[in-house]
């Protein structure tokens, strides 16, 4: 059985049962002028992982892993965006408002799309999700079941919000999960460190973590 040298201990996965989920590597979170920036964040740390995520994608594609890309976005009429999410915080632009890349986090708008360097290839799944977790109000669990996936690699942003939420959802559904440490990022470095610690605490209570250099050889 293939093994990844991970924390808190080795991550084993059955051949043919491993998939990759890349969370929300969208222009609205990665590029200046997007939703991340309207919240007052410096997007440069997020943009910096794009080449590393690309290397992970290249490795997963070479290994013929099933790949799922997620996008956090909403219907144009915002019918799937609860008021508690729409009004939270004090951004300069809210979800649905016109921005430099179209309406913020709206399906079909340029800002909601994945950055070009990480765009999905034919045959890869692109899953739009209205929540932070990718299992909420989506068919992700059925997709994974149909693909025979039991183990998951995770990449994307942000570590402590959409990535960790989806990993916890996956853990509750019985999936074994590993987060690729240098293929995820937060606007707040201390939040990323804390999230990694939480994920692998207590004997991998949520999952495992490992750097890309230890993941690629196992693929």
Catalytic residues: 24, 129, 162
The packing angle between helices 164-172 and 189-204, to 10°, is: 20
Helix ranges (H only) for the chain are 27-30, 35-38, 44-48, 50-62, 83-86, 140-147, 164-172, 189-204, 212-215
Nearest one of 151, 146, 143, 194 to 170, comparing CA atoms:
151
Cβ 216 vs Cβ 55: under 8 Å: yes
Cβ 25 vs Cβ 118: under 8 Å: yes
Cβ 84 vs Cβ 130: under 8 Å: no
Cβ 17 vs Cβ 85: under 8 Å: no
């Amino acid at each position: 059985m293939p093994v990844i040298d991970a924390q808190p201990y080795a991550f084993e996965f059955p051949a043919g049962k491993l998939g990759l989920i890349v969370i929300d590597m969208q222009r609205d979170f990665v590029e200046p002028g997007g939703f991340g920036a309207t919240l007052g964040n410096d997007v440069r740390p997020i943009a910096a992982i794009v080449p590393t995520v690309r290397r992970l994608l290249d490795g997963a594609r070479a290994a013929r892993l099933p790949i799922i890309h997620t996008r956090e976005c909403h219907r144009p009429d915002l019918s799937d965006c609860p008021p508690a999410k729409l009004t939270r915080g004090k951004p300069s632009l809210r979800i649905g408002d016109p921005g430099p890349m179209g309406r913020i986090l709206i399906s079909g708008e340029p800002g909601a799309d994945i950055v070009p360097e990480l765009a999905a290839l034919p045959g890869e799944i692109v899953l739009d999700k209205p929540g932070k977790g990718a299992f909420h109000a989506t068919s992700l669990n059925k997709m994974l079941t149909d693909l025979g996936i039991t183990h998951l690699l995770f990449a994307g942003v942000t570590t402590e919000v959409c990535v960790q939420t989806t990993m916890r959802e996956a853990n509750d559904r019985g999936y074994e999960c590993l987060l690729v440490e240098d293929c995820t990022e937060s606007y707040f470095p201390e939040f990323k460190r804390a999230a990694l610690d939480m994920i692998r605490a207590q004997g991998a209570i949520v999952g495992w973590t490992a750097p890309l250099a230890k993941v690629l050889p196992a693929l």
